[in-house]
Amino acid sequence: MHPIRDRSFRALLISRIFAVLSLGFFDLPFMWWVLETTGKESMVAMVALVGSIAFIVAAPFGGILADRYNKIKLASLLIFIDGSLTLIAGILFLNGTITVAVALVLLAITNLASALRSPSLSSLLPLILKEESYQKGNATMGLASSFANLISFALAGIVTSIVGVGWTLIIGASFLFIAIAAILMVKEPVVLSDKPKEKSASEQEKPNSGFTEGLRVIIQNPLLLSVSLATTVLNLVASPMNALMAPYALDLNAGASGFGYLVAAIVVGEIIGLAVINILDWEKALSTLVIGTVIMGLGIMSLAVTKTLLIAMFILMLVGLALSIVNVKIQTIFQTNIDKEVIGRAYGVSTALTSGAQPIGYALTGALLASIGFYKIFFISGSLVTLLALIWLAPATRKNLTLKREQRIEGWEY
């Protein structure tokens, strides 16, 4: 049975769609206003940095809250805070009383709310679906989110140009309130440990450190450690790709439209990949991860010698396709290898690690662009991703990927 037939999954999907739709109606008008007001491109980078720092700092604590409290109510409360502050920001823009300092404070708080709710929302899917539905559930979520993201920024640009920043933010806030209504229709799952065990008296008396436990869960499981390292490296390489597309398009004499085509090619590839894995029952995790990672790496490397726009678009489409399939597999592996009692904490730590890679990726790319140029960056990044395939071929990782779930649970050490 496809997960779309599950009532709670449908509600979670609708909530995710409207939450993603709200992103463009906040980020685009906000960054545009900051650029127009200050005239400094560095301030736009500051806006992006605030968001990254919020996830690095707050996501692990969001994981602790997700495991200790009702996930639905927690996520709803944090979305309400996000939506309310976005609404307040819109009103302040309409009144003309907002300043850059106030805007940055509101941005920081809304990003903190987003980071705190992320582990709760991420851990809901594996709790409301059966394990055999995880892959299609992840693919469906990814496909819907990709479409919503495309529509969001396109519409936000049009709306901002017509009604201004204030009303655009208010529309974005309304999307978040719709997301709350949808998620409240999800039935709160009962969390049962996959591997019950007796605790000693000293363990029962010892206070539980959510961040430490989440980190320990990842480190002590070879498969989860491999997945987390791979995801971190992929974020390190993939996050600055859009920034590289601008000078690449300029060098190809493709102009601003060519820049848009290159970025769009990646997204189109991701949508195709998500659609394919949503339809097919793709069970061979090891071969999928190895082949997908190698295709991504070789594709990025080949951009170093590609000087034609159409060929570059085709390559980027293949990279996006492979990336989406690998991401779905990684999510599914993560979900099937976590004790449900600590899934929130594990997601929190994982989110912090991957989010931390993004600003590092941007910083490295900025430094390397000034010294060696983007063609060499393509070659280095592609080589790094190709070598990443060795993680999946490590003996401990291969063994865990081929074991049945019951055998994996017996080997868990936490």
Q: Which residue has the higher pLDDT, 168 or 282?
A: 168
Say if residue 121's pLDDT is above 70.
Answer: yes
User: Angle CA(258)–CA(263)–CA(266) in degrees, nearest 5?
Assistant: 130
Say if residue 147's pLDDT is above 80.
Answer: yes
In this prediction, residue 365 carries a pLDDT of 75
Q: Which residue has the higher pLDDT, 378 or 58?
A: 378
Q: Residue range 139-153: average pLDDT? A: 83
User: What is the rounded average pLDDT for all residues in the chain?
Assistant: 80
Percent of the chain's residues with pLDDT above 90: 21
Listed range (49-63, 262-276, 287-301, 362-376) with the worst mean pLDDT = 49-63
DSSP assignment of 305-361, as one string? G---HHHHHHHHHHHHHHHHHHHHHHHHHHHHTS-GGGHHHHHHHHHHHHHHHHHHH
Please state, in angstroms and rounded to a whole number, the distance separating the CA atoms of residues 276 and 326: 12
Please state, in angstroms and rounded to a whole number, the distance separating the CA atoms of residues 25 and 171: 7
In this prediction, residue 203 carries a pLDDT of 41
pLDDT tens, position by position, 162-211: 888 899 999 999 999 999 999 999 887 665 554 544 444 434 444 445 56
Task: Name the one residue in this structure whose structure tokens are 């989440």.
Answer: 214
Listed range (123-137, 156-170, 291-305, 335-349) with the worst mean pLDDT = 335-349
Name residues whose C-beta falls within 8 Å of residue 397's C-beta, 6 or more positions apart in sequence. Answer: 222, 223, 226, 391
Residue type, 223: L
364 and 241 Cβ atoms separated by less than 8 Å = no
In this prediction, residue 306 carries a pLDDT of 93
pLDDT tens, position by position, 391-407: 888 777 777 776 554 44
Q: Residue range 207-233: average pLDDT? A: 72
Residue type, 313: M
Listed range (5-9, 118-122, 363-367) with the worst mean pLDDT = 363-367
Say if residue 76's pLDDT is above 60.
Answer: yes
Please state, in angstroms and rounded to a whole number, the distance separating the CA atoms of residues 98 and 95: 8
Instruction: Report all structural domains of the chain as residue ranges with CATH numbers, in order of start.
Output: 3-183 (1.20.1250.20), 209-403 (1.20.1250.20)
In this prediction, residue 40 carries a pLDDT of 63
Please state, in angstroms and rounded to a whole number, the distance separating the CA atoms of residues 397 and 313: 33
Rg of the chain (C-alpha set): 21
In this prediction, residue 183 carries a pLDDT of 92
In this prediction, residue 198 carries a pLDDT of 47
Listed range (99-103, 227-231, 362-366, 381-385) with the worst mean pLDDT = 362-366
C-alpha distances in Å from residue 309, one per residue of 241, 257, 314? 16, 11, 9
Q: Residue range 42-70: average pLDDT? A: 72
Q: Residue range 273-297: average pLDDT? A: 82
